[in-house]
């Protein structure tokens, strides 16, 4: 039987984890997580890591397997995930991958795009600008140089913005022109499914999730990480706003409202990213699991033939 990777995508707080566990139990498979912040063991509440019962309900990989003090990027994850999948396919040709980090999903499914080497002085200058003037001027610069990238990447992530800008400035061409080139071949077939809902429902689920995170101790977790706030792993919605509160730049209430607002913006970018793939089969988040399994099984049967 051919190797098949069932990949679940969609905006944050839509229910991807719960669905992945149900599918893993049905197909007796493992789960590869490609959430770029759930890798880190110091970040539990703010990244909505699956709880103990969820982790015990199916075998998970790449959940809290790294430290925020380690350098880890999408290229390393691509290699690690492919190696893990190679081993998992030996015991079951059907496996599950789930996550909302579009770049990390694409890295596993298609391979990374090629980008030319850029003079290090450009990045150094951009990092200096970030330190002196903050992120907003860099965001505006990216919007002017490459609107397509500005509307699809996580523009609240300084590393992503600087990476895109250094390509634009170093080559004189938009970052987006280097994307979507022919990708590496894979030894598996992908069935990609997405969970969605009306925008108002998604936003309400996000707001309620943030409230639950706060009730569960998000402020305490962020306070313990505050001393390391400049680490790349912590340039993340949910922590950055609370760091501003701890620095007396925000009130607690405003920081929480900013977490909700920035998470909603993040979800909007996720939707834009994932909707680009016309092969994705979309389901309403309340679709009965048996209906989803039926459609996936039909796709598997076609692949087998």
Q: Residues within the annotated binding site for substrate?
A: 12-17
CA atoms within 13 A on the CB side of 211: 6
Q: Are 151 and 125 in contact (CB under 8 A)?
A: no
Q: Which two tokens stand for residue 21?
A: 């566990």
State the binding site. Answer: 10-17
Q: Which residues are annotated as a binding site for ATP?
A: 10-17
| Residue among 301, 303, 263, 286 nearest 18 (CA) | 286
Chain-centroid distance of CA 154 in Å reads 10
**How many other β-carbons are positioned within 10 Å of the β-carbon of residue 141?**
18
Quick one: which of 181, 182, 178 has its CA closest to 170? 178
How do 4-9 and 189-196 pair as beta strands? parallel
The closest alpha carbon to 3, from 88, 107, 108, 105, belongs to 88
Asked if residue 34 lies in contact with residue 62, where contact means CB atoms within 8 angstroms, the answer is yes
How far, in Å, CA of 124 to CA of 115, rounded?
A: 18
Q: How many CA atoms lie within 13 A of 287 on its CB side?
A: 21
Helix (H, G, I), strand (E, B) or coil at 260: helix
Element housing 300 (H / E): helix 289-304
Tokens 């995170």 correspond to what residue?
213
Query: Cα separation of 31 and 107, whole Å?
Result: 17
């Amino acid at each position: 039987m051919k190797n098949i990777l069932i990949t679940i995508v969609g905006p944050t707080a839509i229910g991807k984890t719960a669905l992945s566990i149900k599918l893993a139990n049905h197909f007796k498979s493992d789960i590869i997580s490609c959430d770029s912040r759930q890798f880190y063991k110091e970040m539990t509440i703010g990244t909505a890591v699956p709880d103990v019962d969820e982790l015990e309900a199916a075998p998970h990989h790449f959940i809290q397997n790294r430290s925020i003090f380690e350098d880890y990027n999408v290229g390393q994850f691509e290699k690690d995930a492919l190696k893990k999948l190679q081993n998992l396919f030996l015991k079951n040709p059907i496996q599950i991958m789930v996550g909302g980090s579009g770049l990390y999903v694409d890295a596993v499914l298609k391979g990374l795009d090629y980008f030319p080497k850029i003079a290090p002085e450009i990045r150094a200058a951009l990092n200096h600008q970030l330190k002196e003037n903050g992120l907003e001027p860099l965001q505006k610069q990216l919007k002017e140089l490459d609107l397509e990238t500005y509307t699809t990447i996580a523009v609240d992530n300084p590393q992503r913005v600087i990476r895109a800008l250094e390509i634009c400035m170093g080559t004189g061409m938009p970052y987006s022109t280097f994307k979507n080139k022919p990708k590496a071949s894979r030894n598996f077939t992908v069935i990609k499914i997405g969970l969605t809902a009306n925008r108002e429902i998604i936003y309400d689920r996000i707001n309620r999730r943030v409230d639950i995170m706060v009730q569960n101790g998000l402020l305490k977790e962020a306070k313990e990480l505050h001393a390391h706030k400049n680490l790349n792993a912590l340039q993340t919605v949910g922590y950055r706003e609370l760091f501003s509160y701890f620095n007396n730049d925000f009130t607690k209430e405003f920081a929480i409202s900013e977490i909700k607002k920035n998470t909603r913006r993040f979800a909007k970018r996720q939707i834009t990213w994932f909707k680009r793939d016309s092969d994705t089969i979309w389901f309403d988040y309340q679709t009965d699991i048996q209906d989803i399994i039926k459609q996936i099984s039909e796709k598997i049967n076609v692949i087998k033939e």
